[in-house]
Structure 1
Amino acid sequence: MVSPGSDFAALLRAWRDRLSPADAGFPATPGRRAPGLRREELAQLAGLSVDYVLRLEQRRAKHPSAQVVGALARALQLSRAERDQLYRSAGLLPPQDGTVSVHVPAGIQRLAARLGDVPIGVFTADWSLVWWNAMWSALHGDPSVLPVAERNLARALFGDGAAHASLRPLRSERGPDAFAASIVADLKDAVSRYPGDARLARLVSDLCEASEAFARRWTTATAAVQHTSERKTIRHPEVGDILLDCDVLLVPGADLRMVTYTAATGSDDAGKLDLLRVTGPGAAAVRL
């Protein structure tokens, strides 16, 4: 049991011990001495070094950044109240209402972790990628090699940084413009709902400066376009073109989008996904 006055190190250890490895996407292995996550597993999920997690738990590392605390909160599958407690224990203000939330509810994380055979990415209202599994990395490339700010689909489509450079060629059956138009419309909708979000405003400003195509669309975009299932062809550097069904599932009450890619059983494209499943990264689910 965690007491309300617990310090950051105590909270981190208690909540790490509480989280089942299976719920975090790790396979059950014999010989585990404790039911919770190992430090190296938490470090992997949060995108931190094992040494840094150890120093946090031993109180040798102090004043973690808001980005680090947010990553740990998602990795530990904390509730909003627990997340806020973790921020305060680190001497930080919790994320404020009225800004784009990067909180991924524990139930969504558990659901996605149990669908490990399917490439899954979870995006915020501004199309920042905050959760993905190993199959997503196998299909699209490992997002963890990108700076956190670059893990954004709009930056990948319209920016001039690392996200754009890492984007694998993709064709939509709806044509080359429909997908880009829907992303711009989504950002326009997000700005209308989160007018005080400085990070979102900076994203739009950066893209308007980097891309004439984005700036032109931004002046004409109105309401968000309803996302529908569509088929996309992704050019993979190892297995070639893969034609997949892409579905965007909205998470009620969390303002998140869960993006999945699937192929019909027995198809050549399903066979390519199977090959990626074997040869791709075998890590558990990870978060921003």
Structure 2
Amino acid sequence: MPADFHSLGGLLRAWRERLLPSDVGLASVGNRRTKGLRREELAAVAGVSSDYIVRLEQGRWLTPSAQIVASLARALQLDRTETELLYRAAGLAPPGPGTISQHIPPGVQRMLTRMADLPLGVFAADWTLLTSTRLWDVLFLRPAAGEVPGQNLVVDTFVNATSTAVADPDGGADAFDRALVADLRRTAAYAGNDPAFASPIALLHEHSPRFAGLWAEGAAAAFRSLVQTVHHPLVGDVRIDCDTLTVPDADLRIIVCTAAGGSTAAEQLARLRTAI
């Protein structure tokens, strides 16, 4: 065991070395003289530069942001205890009760890797995108979560109006808007005082009278599965089922999009896969 096992750099090296490229959905390339993920592979999965990983492991950068730590924890497939240890090694307080968790359990990480050929997005309880498959990014015309952290579906819907420009949900925009706000109301029951939650809620109230009106109604309900028609410039309108999966003890919204085998939508998704 390295002498600096409990330092930030030592922890990153130890956890990086226990993963294989296949564990994170990467192909193993070239001769591998050392075990585990290479630094550039971890960097690619975490959405940071390989030089940044080098500096962290060498102790030349000791104060990563909470957002970076959360991204590294997901990339390294850490459990809750290990994630807390990583936060403390970085000089940060781990997220506690009453806060929005960005933790994705290792088992869910492995499941996501095996579902990489589907459009799939994983959201925190405030609808911030934590990770997504490449087909999700291509289908919904969005940058990857690692490239542009902090993308929030509610803000995109009510303030930026980007989500409604890309896809139309069955039942119309009104039903979709109400479902999002009602789900967010459920989160407010335990995380209403979390600054990371309160800040976007204030932004939404300031810039979207529509959101403010729905929020004032006080409806609270879990977000349900839906059917969407995605307007894609390459393959046309794609009508898909978007099912919402939940994980016990992990307050996540996992949206998985599928199409019936042999359908036009399935053919359209296949065409998008070849374009990745």
* TM-score w.r.t. length of structure 1: 0.89
- Describe how 1:1-288 pairs up with structure 2 within 5 A: 6-29=6-29, 31-140=31-140, 141-144=142-145, 147-149=148-150, 151-160=151-160, 164-165=161-162, 168-228=165-225, 230-280=226-276
Q: Is the 8 A contact 1:168 1:234 kept in 2?
A: no
CA deviations on 1:43-70 (whole Å, 9 max, x unpaired) are 1111111111111112222222222111
Q: Measured at CA, do residues 172 and 31 of structure 1 come closer, stay the same or move farther in structure 2, by a change above 3 Å?
A: same
- Corresponding letter in the other structure for 1:187: L
Distance, in Å, in 1 between the alignment partners of 2:258 and 2:86 is: 37
CA deviations on 1:188-229 (whole Å, 9 max, x unpaired) are 11111223211111111100111111111111132214513x
Q: What does residue 285 of structure 1 align with?
A: none
Q: Measured at CA, do residues 56 and 225 of structure 1 come closer, stay the same or move farther in structure 2, by a change above 3 Å?
A: closer
Distance, in Å, in 1 between the alignment partners of 2:91 and 2:217 is: 43
Alignment length, in residue pairs? Answer: 275
Identity of aligned residues (%): 44
1:19 CA drift (Å):
1.3
Distance, in Å, in 1 between the alignment partners of 2:164 and 2:28 is: 33
Greater RCO (CA < 8 Å, at least 6 residues apart): 1
Q: What does residue 284 of structure 1 align with?
A: none
Q: Measured at CA, do residues 279 and 180 of structure 1 come closer, stay the same or move farther in structure 2, by a change above 3 Å?
A: same
1:27 CA drift (Å):
2.7
1:166 CA drift (Å):
7.0
CA deviations on 1:134-190 (whole Å, 9 max, x unpaired) are 1111211223487433x1110110123xxx447652111222211110000011111
Question: Structure 2 unaligned runs (5+)?
Answer: none
- Corresponding letter in the other structure for 1:62: L
Q: Is the 8 A contact 1:2 1:11 kept in 2?
A: no
Backbone CA RMSD of aligned residues: 2.0
SS of equivalent residue, structure 2 residue 202 = helix
